Every structure is written in C-alpha cells, then in structure tokens.
Amino acid sequence: MKFNKSIPYKIKRILPILGLAGLSTISSCSKEDDLINLDLQEEITITFSDVEYRTIMTTDEINKPIGPNEAIIYYVSRPEVKTIYIKPTGDWTGYRWNVIPDIRKNLLEPIINYSPKIRGKGNFNFVPGDASRCPEDSLWITQQGWTINQQIQR
C-alpha cells in the first residue's frame, strides 16, 4: 500500500505550533518533578530492645517510661517523614504472659497513640504460648503491625 498524498504546509504556521508544543512539555515536566518530590517521603525505623527502650521513650528516675523521646518528637514534626516504624530487637522470652499487658499499656500503646505516623514493625519472640494467654494484648500488638513468634511459623 502506497500513499502519495502530500500535505501542504507553511513554515510560518509550523514554528508557532512547535513552540507551543515545546512549552507544554516543559511545564508538564516541572509538574511531574513536583509530584515525584511529594512521593519521596521518608520512612524511619527506630529499634528498641527488651532492656533498652530509651530509643523510643523517655524515662523517669526509676526507669519508668513517661513519654516519647526527642527523636520521636522530632521525626513526627517533620512533614517529609511519612511513617515511623518502631521495631523490637533482642530476646523477649524473659517477659512472660503476665508482663505482656504491661508492655502494651506502658510502652507500646503510648508511643503508638502519640502520632498516626507511628506504626509497629518487626517481631516479638515471646515464650511460645504466652501471647495466647493474653489475647486482647497480643491481638492489639499484631493490629499495630508487629508479629509475635514469627520465627516459629517458618
């Protein structure tokens, strides 16, 4: 199949059309760059252990948690920080079923309730079966993003 029809055009009309097309692509690129910058929001992960939770909470004289520490307050105030993940490390098998409600009430719940930016991440390795002895607390922990004894499920 062969097309032989030629389309007449004048250079006077083509140059303004090309100029407008070029300007529209320049303005759309800058809008895309703005959208990309908005999407590049940071995710921060802060770890805490069974013996050192001052990385997320400040404590009083007797080492009782009283509120979020300066790092948490700083990251919550930053608009570019989208999510702050709180990740447990260490060995949590020393905390038996009767202590899990205290961990939730005194450590985890206040930090999660401080800001909607804060979420749980990682695994608590409690003694197998202990978390099921306090179902409300273990359910709350998993709803916030943490896992319990995930190493056993593998």
**3-state DSSP assignment of residue 30:** helix
**pLDDT(64) > 50:** yes
pLDDT of the residue at 56? 87
Residue with tokens 């004048």: 10
pTM: 0.69
Please state the rounded mean pLDDT for residues 96-101. 92
**What does the pLDDT look like over 6-16, one tens digit per residue?**
556 555 555 56
Contact between 119 and 152 (Cβ < 8 Å): no
The 3-state secondary structure of 38-86, one letter per residue? HHCCEEEEEEEECCCCCCCEEECCCCCEEEECHHHHHHHHCCCEEEEEE
CB under 8 Å to 99, separation ≥6 — which residues?
Answer: none
pLDDT of the residue at 37? 43
pLDDT of the residue at 2? 58
pLDDT of the residue at 15? 55
Token pair listed for 88:
């447990």
